[in-house]
Amino acid sequence: MNWILLVLAGLFEVAFAFCLGKIKVTDPADHWKWYVGFFVFLIASMLLLIKATQTLPIGTAYAVWTGIGAVGTVLAGIFFFNEPADFWRVFFIVTLIASIVGLKLVTH
């Protein structure tokens, strides 16, 4: 169950990073919506991370949380903000995903 909470925490991390990206590209009159979203997703992400670390090792949980956030944020940048998707970016995203899966497999 705590692995599910950790994955959700990572997805909320992607959501708050997405809100930051939207602040950058939207009209200033709409910024307040994205700021509210940022804080809601930030709080949700932190609360889920805290809950997950009650039973998972902190080092593993934090690495997985940041890894999900990093991969998700890069993919959001590619799909929603027209950031480049060149070979090396995709290669290192794949290696990061492999590292996250590896940490899951070796954690008891």
- Model pLDDT for residues 72-81, shown as the tens digit of each residue: 999 999 999 9
Arithmetic mean of pLDDT, 97-108: 89
Average pLDDT, rounded, for the chain: 95
Domain range enclosing 6? 2-106
pLDDT of residue 71 exceeding 80, the answer is: yes
pLDDT for 108: 74
Tally of domains within the chain:
1
32-53 pLDDT, tens digit each: 999 999 999 999 999 999 999 9
Q: How far apart are the C-alpha atoms of 105 and 9, rounded to whole Å? A: 19
- Give every CB contact of residue 15 below 8 A, 6+ residues apart in sequence: 37, 41, 45
